Amino acid sequence: MNSNNLLLEIKNLKVSIEDNIILDDLNLKIQKGEIHAIMGPNGSGKSTFSKVVAGHPAYSILGGDILFKGDSIIELSPEERSHLGIFLAFQYPIEIPGVSNEDFLRLSYNAKQRFFNQPEVDPIEFLGIVTTKMQLVNMSPQFLNRNVNEGFSGGEKKRNEILQMILLDSDICILDETDSGLDIDALKVISNGINNFMTKEKGIILITHYQRLLDYINPTYVHVMQNGKIVKTGSSELAKELEDKGYQWLNTD
Amino acid sequence: MINQSNKVINNSLTKLVNKSYQYGFSTNIEKDIIEKGLNEQTIKLISSKKNEPPFLLKFRLKAYKKWQTMNEPEWAHLKFPTIDFQSIVYYSAPKSQKKLKDLSEVDSELLKTFEKLGISLNEQKRLANVAIDIVFDSVSIGTTFQKELSEYGIIFASISEAIQDYPEMIEKYIGSVVPIGDNYFSALNSAVFTDGSFCYIPENVKSPIDLSTYFRINDQTSGQFERTLIIADKNSQVNYLEGCTAPQYDTNQLHAAIVELVALDNAVIKYSTVQNWYAGNEYGKGGIYNFVTKRGLCIGNNAQISWTQVETGSAITWKYPSCLLIGENSQGEFYSVALTNNYQQADTGTKMLHIGKSSRSRIISKGISAGNSKNSYRGLVQMTDKALNARNYSQCDSLLIGNCSNANTFPIISVQNSTTRIEHEASTSKIGEEQIFYFLQRGISLEKAIELMISGFCKEVFKKLPLEFAAEADKLLSLKLEGSVG
């Protein structure tokens, strides 16, 4: 495959927090047009992986590299990574009292516009842009006037994450357990949002515990992470097998 | 309309991004000083320098006697070394104190000082929709728009001028809201106050422009003891603004002020403060000790007094703008944002004393503590037996930034009749690393993130500020917090 198609490359990544090694010799390549699912038991390092790619300051990179479209990003600030096109849908979207969702979304949108020397949009123009996107995830416009994630139900928070993903139109999106805590209807809405968003130019990493998300989104690869590295890679069949046999099955392999 | 607050904002943005306190310079100017130390002689000298009528000297000496019998209050949640009252200069005035006919006669060094502070005293300033009385160390150096205001019958002058021109009004009202012996610092102020502002709004007049005082402490050893007296006659209205700055010294200076407001029947007084005294450096050295007694008397029926304060400066803040609600249906309000960073300490809040029937009060207090600072809300809501059907609503919110800051609330509610209604809400929250990271991941910068969260937290108070103050306050808080998160 042409290396120009490579979106994200994780090379021998070793990461610690407070002297505990969380990721150890992690390797992963995401090409344009691919959806990768990462599964694995609790504490295997999946969420750490997503935060490290996004540049969370609490983690130290001890070795290895993260390349985005061929360039190392480990020295870049979280906001630069965001502008370049890396998006993280949080497992637990943060509540921000006193800040309206509308202001938050507009600032975020305009920050990216500014980064690419594009004109910033005014609040009225933005309202038009955002309401069309909200329809894609079945969100009513009243969510714009509420404070960011404050008092949102679990499903509303996750839809708000997908809305931001669509709005920022990032190239590589990491969805950290976006399916957890969703009822079946919400899961369908969110899966639809993700499927519509996906193009052959983008890449998506789905971190999940459950095979059921993969009933709606068809991954190119399924990886299993254990003790901070990827121990097994396969097709979507692997997810079904894990669902039946559990992670213990891998250790007895 | 262009106003000087916009200018302040521009100044703070352009030249002062790298400086934590932009007003820290001092002005070299020839001064007329009374030797430091406090005794009866000092007080007599102040009084004679100001050519005061005998009643005022009597008032001062009585206050001094009272003060000598009192002790410094120790109940506040504040720690600081004992103040040596004998090492303070009680009178420091720029020389050439002949009465100025015109602001263009103000010393050019002083004019430059205020230009630097973003306050223009020259004619251009007339674009600004605000009249200013400027107090520099111990004296007022000028008041703008006096003539225009007098056409409405509004008296706006330094208190020294008012003592000369309207002694009977001063004699009637001075000490009527904050009695001499009210507290240790009010007694001290009553003995040694040197200047301040005076304002009288006649019956049925709504002040056409906002009035304001700008306080500047320049001298390293002088204390500032000013006194403001505002009287709003029946059916009158006035908005009053107050700003303060001081140079950056590594010693502490004392500021002990009194503000007295009197609102007669149906009068409305809105008093807003943006306090930005020098707060000391990041290790807690230097800064102003700010001990202020502010009180409003709603003596008339339907009278309204509203205090809005944004307290960001001073090493120590000890301040409880209060309302005595005597008139029926009278209304008191207190909206406060107090921000402390580094080693600042603030003990601030309000007292609402309900006496009039159906009197109402509202308290919204927002405390933000960062660094190693201590920030306390202290409030008293008292419903006396006469205050039938009185109501109070209080809301005290604290926001912590970082792991070493400290927030406290000490609300006291005292009720002596069963027809009142009192509500009290309180909350404590924290700006955490995860919230910041959420903003950053969405491409929003740290500075913007903090600004958004702080202004969201303070929204209810900021919307009470006059427009020109609100933007400044917003900016000021973000500047003050720079580097305290992340």
Number of A:B CB contacts under 8 A?
73
The per-residue pLDDT for range A126-175, each reduced to its tens digit, is: 999 999 999 988 899 999 999 999 999 988 999 999 999 999 999 999 99
Inside any domain, residue B190: yes
- B281 in any annotated domain: yes
The pLDDT value recorded for residue A252 is 57
| Shortest alpha-carbon distance between residue A174 and chain B (Å) | 12
Interchain proximity A97–B456, CB inside 8 Å = yes
Residue B448 CA neighbour count, 13 Å, CB half: 16
Q: B442 contacts in A (CB within 8 Å)?
A: 82, 104, 107-108, 111, 164, 168
List the beta bridge partners of residue B392. B361, B422
Residue B486 maps to a domain: no
Nearest CB to A78; choose among B441, B452, B455: B441
Q: What is the reported pLDDT for B378?
A: 94
Who's near A63: CB < 8 A, 6+ residues apart? A12, A13, A14
**In sequence order, what are the residues at sequence separation of 6 or more whose Cβ sits closer than 8 angstroms to the Cβ of residue B383?**
B354, B390, B392, B414, B415, B416, B417, B420, B422
**Angle formed by the axes of helices B467-481 and B4-14, to 10°?**
20
Window from A32-41, A47-56, B17-26, B66-75 with minimum mean pLDDT: B17-26
Cβ(A28)–Cβ(A230) under 8 Å?
A: yes
The whole-angstrom separation of Cα A178 and Cα A216 is 13
The answer to whether A145 contacts chain B (CB < 8 Å) is no
DSSP B246: -
Domain residue ranges in chain A: 3-252
Could you tell me the fold of the domain covering A3-252? Rossmann fold (3.40.50)
- Residue B218 distance to chain A (closest CA, Å): 38
Which residues in chain B have their CB less than 8 angstroms from residue A54's CB?
Answer: 437, 441
B115 domain residue, yes or no: yes
Residue from the list B429, B438, B455 with its beta carbon closest to the beta carbon of A94: B438
Looking at residue A249, its pLDDT comes to 78
Q: Is residue B264 part of a domain?
A: yes
A108 interaction partners in chain B (CB closer than 8 Å): 442-444
Q: How far is A223 from chain B (nearest CA, A)?
A: 25
Contacts of A115 in chain B (CB under 8 A): 443
Q: Give yes or no for A73 touching B (CB within 8 A).
A: no
Q: Are B420 and B354 in contact (CB under 8 A)?
A: yes
Put simply, whether A58 touches B (Cβ < 8 Å) is: yes
- Candidates B312, B375, B316; CA nearest to B21 is B312
Total-model pTM = 0.80
pLDDT in tens, chain B (486 residues): 233 333 332 232 223 222 366 676 677 667 777 778 889 999 998 899 889 999 999 999 999 999 999 998 888 888 888 888 888 888 887 665 455 555 555 666 666 666 665 555 554 444 355 677 777 766 676 677 778 888 999 999 889 889 999 999 999 999 999 999 999 999 999 999 988 889 999 999 999 888 888 777 666 667 788 899 999 999 999 998 887 666 666 677 788 999 999 999 999 999 988 888 777 877 878 888 899 999 999 999 999 999 998 888 888 899 999 999 999 999 999 999 898 888 889 999 999 999 999 999 999 999 998 888 899 999 999 999 999 999 999 999 999 887 888 899 999 999 999 999 999 999 888 888 889 999 999 999 988 888 888 888 888 888 887 766 666 666 666 666 665 554
Contact list in A for residue B459 (CB cut-off 8 A) is 98
Q: Which residue in the set B433, B437, B448 is minimally distant from A107, CB to CB?
A: B448
Q: Which domain holds residue B419?
A: 4-481
Contacts of A55 in chain B (CB under 8 A): 440-441
Look at residue B116 in the predicted model and tell me its pLDDT: 61
- Contact between B106 and B54 under an 8 Å Cβ cutoff? The reply is no
Facing residues of B379 across strands?
A: B350, B411
Tally of domains within chain B: 1
The shortest C-alpha distance from B195 to chain A (Å) reads 41
> How many angstroms separate the Cα of B434 from the Cα of each of A90, B151, B409, B422, B477?
11, 58, 26, 36, 21
Write down the pLDDT at residue B109. 67
Contact criterion met (CB < 8 Å) for B443 and A111? yes
> Mind telling me how many Å the CA of A189 is from chain B's nearest CA?
22
Distances (CA, A) of B451 to B176, B402, B480: 41, 16, 11
- Chain A residue numbers touching B439 (CB-CB < 8 A): 96
- Tens of pLDDT along A98-117? 899 999 999 999 999 999 99
Beta bridge partners of B270: B239, B306
CB contact under 8 A, B456 and A147: yes
Measure in Å the smallest separation between the Cα of B427 and chain A Cα atoms: 12
Taking contacts as CB-CB distances below 8 angstroms, the residues of chain B near A164 are: 442
pLDDT at residue B288, as a whole number = 85
Q: What is the CA radius of gyration of chain B?
A: 21
Give the closest residue to B307 by CA, choosing from B299, B316, B315, B298: B298
Tell me which residue in A56, A93, A108 faces B443 most closely, judged by beta carbons: A108
Instruction: Report pLDDT for B183.
Output: 93
Q: Do B443 and A112 touch (CB under 8 A)?
A: yes
User: Which chain A residues touch B398 with a CB distance below 8 Å?
Assistant: none
Judge contact between B263 and B305, C-beta under 8 A. yes
Q: Closest Cα of chain B to A118: distance in Å?
A: 15
Q: Which residue has the higher pLDDT, A203 or B97?
A: A203
